[in-house]
Amino acid sequence: MAGYHEYLELDQLLSLQRPRTGHIETELPFIVVHQVSELWFKLIIEDIKGTIDALGADDVGAALRRLNRVHEVERLLIDQFVLIDQLPPGGFGVLRPALASASAAESRQFAIIERLSCPPSGCGAPATLPAADLWSALCLRAQGDGHDMPTDDTEEARARRARTLVDIYRQAGPMSAVCEALLDHDQAFCIWRQRHSLAVARQIGNAPGTGGTAGLAYLEHRCSRRFYPDLWLIRADLQISG
């Protein structure tokens, strides 16, 4: 039976942090934060896929358990930025030659999370069977429960979705909890993007980013993206009853 060290493959894991600049105090935390982030992304991806499957199987309880873990992992991702903030002023400039054209914007797993969260064109994209993203899974589950939940992007469809979502919240059942869990996920990623942009601003200001991006301007533009605009737009129509 494998021991702790062997089960976690620690020899291999701990050999993957390879500072290239000689500035270990600066480069090691930078590498660790980004490698750990990719591990958290891996867990988020698995839980989002599990949520989509659970909603398709009408197992809302399992979907909520998965989404709650997604949100807890996102808290950890956000908290990690304190280690980047604590790099010494000019610390990123020491690392930059080693990064060359590499950029966090190239994270394949981050792109997968965005793709699994909502359709490429937002909430107004036709849902397919089986659902390929969380929003489509929510719409199909609502349809399966008898709700009027169209997925196209016409003004009429958006209005019908809004009425349905308000009704779901008024029923205060499991599906309203799923909606709130999706909003938690959306809000956490908004905060993650904001913390990322602040960390970049603190380290390099308005200097161009790596990987050919515009740096801070590019990140700040992405801060406004929301996975589920329909869920945000109905907030003014929700009231506590009783």
- This prediction has a pTM of 0.91
- Determine, yes or no, domain membership for 68: yes
- Digitized pLDDT (tens) for each residue of the chain, 242 residues in all: 789 999 999 999 999 999 999 888 999 999 999 999 999 999 999 999 999 999 999 999 999 999 999 999 999 999 999 999 999 888 888 888 888 777 777 899 999 999 999 998 777 777 788 999 999 999 999 999 999 999 988 999 999 999 999 999 999 999 999 999 999 999 999 999 999 999 888 888 877 666 566 667 777 777 789 999 999 999 999 976 65
User: Domain for residue 216, yes or no?
Assistant: yes
Identify whether 92 is part of a domain.
yes
Nearest-5° angle of CA 186, CA 131, CA 62?
65
Q: Is residue 218, in this structure, part of any structural domain at all?
A: yes
**Is residue 176 domain-resident?**
yes
Closest C-alpha to 210, from 108, 105, 58, 137: 105
CB-CB contact of 56 with 48 (8 Å): no
- 207 in a structural domain: yes
> Is there a domain that residue 130 lies in?
yes
* Whole-angstrom distance, CA of residue 51 vs CA of residue 136: 12
| Residue 96 tokens, joined | 């930059």
Report residue 94: phi and psi, to 5°.
-70, -35
Query: In whole angstroms, how far apart are CA 81 and each of 32, 84, 195, 210?
Result: 11, 5, 7, 18
Structural domain count, the chain: 1
| 14 located within any domain | no
Whole-number Å distance between alpha carbons of 174 and 60: 7
Query: Domain with 198 in it: what CATH number?
Result: 1.20.58.480
220: exposed, middle or buried (Cβ count in 10 Å: 0-12, 13-18, 19+): middle
Range of the domain at 88: 24-237
